[in-house]
Structure 1
């Protein structure tokens, strides 16, 4: 309701402005020329482009006047040490197409315009448009074609690459930013991206870490690219996080990769390493035929929903002795091999179990990122992959924030379509209760940070 009222208010204000111009007669001649077909509103050399050209050139002339100290045509211009010296032509790309500008010059060459800086070939938010398109998953080639076909602006692939590369400094600063000394929970997982390596395109693992701080707020801690998802590289990731300030982590949730727990404990020896239950079930079902999947999934539920480890062990033994268990020995073996890393969460109450039993936070993020990168083919380098993944995360969160802003102020109970935060800045559900249970389980380690 409030959104509708705000839109109506904006429409009234815009209409009032137009009506004021119409009442003054300022638009009469323009309307006549439009009706006669002498003026086009959009497209190349249309009215919008001409207004941008006139506005920029007027602003440049005003800048030169301020620089010289006198108005154009001033009879006392000869008393000033510097003077106007014609203009030079320059084509700039804008969000509505290319515009030809006459850039004014001065006699001694000391004039440096701010409105259209020297060397700049783009104005009017075109850079932001290109970065937004890139973050949405479009390739450099796609962006080049899109700009030509929609707004008639020709921007070379090299220029587009340079524009997107300008965010690399921001990515590096984000990747190296200091972190808090203590995170109750950290999730670690990876997704596969295709990256050119010399003459070949290889599958590489993009490693992601998400931390939950003391306020229950989730943060993407970093993105790292490696040829494969290995325990040795994860050990390097943990060491990198420690070097940025993380001194202690209570619980690290990860998949069942061999050597993963040892890699984590090499950096944070007191941490509890929890194998992601969703990954474990996925591995256990890998060789199960389609007809038996539902039945086995139901039979496994008592194991990971057991009240404690003894009850879970009894449920596993019961499943192993059943007809389904005997027909699927691999399913039993997967749970047995992962038992020591699967059972830690069973020692906690239900509220805390929901926080630590799975890496679904990263899984949800990876699902959205895969939708963006699936049409790209491959990345030219590891840096390009990290850059896009970072931009994509920012773009997704910004879009969701805009959608939520549109629905702000709706009455309580009204239907809302905007999605919450994906990961960055998301508040963990029922965090206060989970934190209270963590404080009971780890009183000495968590108390200094409360």
Structure 2
């Protein structure tokens, strides 16, 4: 039986089918089912309940339809005589469904060529169950948590090893995603990292999971890849950026990053025209660590004239004023700004519309915050691949299944997430970089 892709069915056909389903599930029809179940002493859910019986009936009917499609004739049809193949009884098979374990009678044919789609050979779970397991895993539940959840809610025994194997099905998907082609030009790249603990060589070490997010010419943000490393350096970053270049990324206008060893040098080597910009929010936050709680509001107000300055000279004057007022009590505050000054001042050269969209790496910080939520339940990961698998599934859940930029976009959906004020900023990007953006 050929699998029908919903988008391939004409709209009017889908609407008519939806109306028929709605009619079959009308309140009157459901009331009759509930009344019959009550008369028979059958519960709604649980072992042998109404939902389980309905699941069994629907699956068995679907299998019969698949068999008829495979053989080319319905059961009892004289057209099957002499066809060379025929039905050959049934065998029981217990499958895990969202209604709990259901034992169905799977039909057989004499030649053994029948390959059911809805309950494939060798599988004991419906696809929706695998999707549910992936969803639970992507939300931070451990394999043991998922095992306990399936047992408690669905009465299904599934070992942690089985859960791990189910989640491993995305391995090829991750490889394809990590190596997919990317756009030739990104107006903005954000680079940041979060820490994860991974067992490596018999020891648990803390590694940095580096994420690169690209904002394309339409203002859509997409994660371009994940790179796990325990030590940063120019060689590591040169390898990462060269990978992106080999995947098609020829130019990046502005690269927003923070204090990653060797990264500025690697950016200059791979994209020599790229402007390296520190994250202003990170700079403010790191410098405020040196300020006591009682003075934070006053110091925060004193910092605004620096990052809100129209020119570098105006920003320098504001920094001098900050130094005169707070330098004695908070020398670390002043030193933070002085160390980052060269990476901060490119920000001042842009129109305010561009400043608004490059002001901060909040886009990647928000993603990191959500990823930290799903990694915190794990003391450590058994391998680098296990860490990347969870991070990828988390990204896929957060951004939607179309984060790879391939395939049809469902109605009302976009790939990645948009950028507020992008249209206005893009007009100024075209003025500032007239020969580097596609028309």
**TM-score, normalised to structure 1's length?**
0.82
Correspondence for 1:433: 424
Aligned partners of 1:274 and 1:357 also within 8 Å: no
Over 3 Å counting, the alpha-carbon distance change for 1:158 and 1:258 in structure 2 is closer
- 1:16-42 superposed Cα distances (whole Å, 9 cap, x missing partner): 8342677xxxx48x72551452x2221
Secondary structure (helix, strand or coil) at the match of 2:26 reads helix
Is 1:141 matched up with 2:144?
A: yes
Over 3 Å counting, the alpha-carbon distance change for 1:66 and 1:300 in structure 2 is closer
Over 3 Å counting, the alpha-carbon distance change for 1:221 and 1:63 in structure 2 is closer
Pairing of 1:27-426 with structure 2 (within 5 A): 27=32, 31-32=35-36, 34-35=38-39, 37=41, 39-65=42-68, 67=70, 81-123=84-126, 125-322=128-325, 324-398=326-400, 425-426=416-417
Over 3 Å counting, the alpha-carbon distance change for 1:207 and 1:60 in structure 2 is same
Offset, 1:46: 1.5
**Using the alignment, how far apart are the partners of 1:21 and 1:95 within structure 2?**
19
Over 3 Å counting, the alpha-carbon distance change for 1:90 and 1:290 in structure 2 is same
**Using the alignment, how far apart are the partners of 2:171 and 2:212 within structure 1?**
19
Over 3 Å counting, the alpha-carbon distance change for 1:74 and 1:215 in structure 2 is closer
Secondary structure (helix, strand or coil) at the match of 1:439 reads helix
Aligned partners of 1:96 and 1:152 also within 8 Å: no
- 1:324-363 superposed Cα distances (whole Å, 9 cap, x missing partner): 2111112212211221111111112221111223211111
**Using the alignment, how far apart are the partners of 2:261 and 2:99 within structure 1?**
54
Over 3 Å counting, the alpha-carbon distance change for 1:315 and 1:44 in structure 2 is same
Correspondence for 1:19: 28
Offset, 1:105: 2.9
**Using the alignment, how far apart are the partners of 2:269 and 2:84 within structure 1?**
71
Moved more, 310-319 or 373-382: 373-382
**Using the alignment, how far apart are the partners of 2:36 and 2:255 within structure 1?**
71
Over 3 Å counting, the alpha-carbon distance change for 1:135 and 1:21 in structure 2 is closer
Over 3 Å counting, the alpha-carbon distance change for 1:80 and 1:246 in structure 2 is closer
Over 3 Å counting, the alpha-carbon distance change for 1:19 and 1:232 in structure 2 is same
Correspondence for 2:407: none
Question: Which runs of 5 or more structure 1 residues have no equivalent in the other structure?
Answer: 1-8, 400-407, 409-419
Offset, 1:398: 4.2
Aligned partners of 1:95 and 1:124 also within 8 Å: no
Aligned partners of 2:278 and 2:343 also within 8 Å: yes
Aligned partners of 1:209 and 1:220 also within 8 Å: yes
Aligned partners of 2:55 and 2:99 also within 8 Å: no
Aligned partners of 1:65 and 1:71 also within 8 Å: yes
Over 3 Å counting, the alpha-carbon distance change for 1:315 and 1:113 in structure 2 is closer
Aligned partners of 2:234 and 2:261 also within 8 Å: yes
Over 3 Å counting, the alpha-carbon distance change for 1:115 and 1:436 in structure 2 is closer
Moved more, 425-434 or 267-276: 425-434
Aligned partners of 2:147 and 2:158 also within 8 Å: yes
**Using the alignment, how far apart are the partners of 2:192 and 2:117 within structure 1?**
46
Secondary structure (helix, strand or coil) at the match of 1:166 reads helix
**Using the alignment, how far apart are the partners of 1:325 and 1:96 within structure 2?**
66
Offset, 1:146: 0.6
Secondary structure (helix, strand or coil) at the match of 1:445 reads coil
Moved more, 371-380 or 142-151: 371-380
**Using the alignment, how far apart are the partners of 1:160 and 1:433 within structure 2?**
47
Secondary structure (helix, strand or coil) at the match of 2:193 reads strand
Question: Which runs of 5 or more structure 2 residues have no equivalent in the other structure?
Answer: 1-17, 402-411
Offset, 1:15: 9.1
Over 3 Å counting, the alpha-carbon distance change for 1:306 and 1:106 in structure 2 is closer
**TM-score, normalised to structure 2's length?**
0.84
